Amino acid sequence: MANGHGGKRPGAGVKKGSRLPKTLEKEAAREYVRRRVTEALDPLLDAQVAHAVGLKYLVVREASSGKFVRVTEALARQKLGKTDEVIEVWEKDPSVQAFTDLLNRALDKPKEQEQTIKLVGDDEQIRRLHAGRARARASRKDAE
């Protein structure tokens, strides 16, 4: 604009190639997470593989409440010698999602297959549909 108010002005706005402080914070956080995950990669992978295969854990049924409690090593030592409780080993089924995720990361995600969809119907169905629409139009005109 000729009077210098409003509109596009030369040199205004964020410079090309510059990054906002919020973007820099996200990049720093992403790098921090990447570094932490990389440091703990072996135990994380072991846990993911165990989850894909299926987990086993020990539970104790409390005699007073009847509730099942997962047994930690400390709890097992504490309960040692008591006879009023039943100890069972439970298994968690293998996780298909964990297995799929591991395969996708190790071998790349498979390409999505293109699907063909038949959008046209049978000629007889189309003829009956048009006839029904014509009858509906005619009945609306008769009602007016």
Confidence of residue 24 (pLDDT cuts 50, 70, 90): very high
User: For the whole model, what pTM was predicted?
Assistant: 0.40
DSSP codes, 57-112: EEEEE-TTT--EEEPPHHHHHHHTT--SSEEEEEEEPPPHHHHHHHHHHHH-PPPP
pLDDT at 66 over 70: yes
**pLDDT for 127:** 85
Number of domains in the chain: 1
- Does some domain include residue 8? no
Considering 30-34, 40-44, 75-79, 99-103, the range whose residues carry the highest mean pLDDT is 30-34
* 36-40, 41-45, 49-53, 107-111: segment of lowest average pLDDT: 107-111
Domain that holds residue 69: 55-92
- Does some domain include residue 61? yes
> 10 Å Cβ neighbour count for 6?
7
- Does some domain include residue 22? no
| 55: nearest Cα among 92, 97, 89 | 92
- Does some domain include residue 47? no
pLDDT at 77 over 70: no
pLDDT at 87 over 80: no
- Does some domain include residue 10? no
Average pLDDT over all residues of the chain: 78
- Does some domain include residue 73? yes
Residue 60 β-bridge partners: 69, 87
**pLDDT for 121:** 63
- Does some domain include residue 87? yes
- Does some domain include residue 117? no
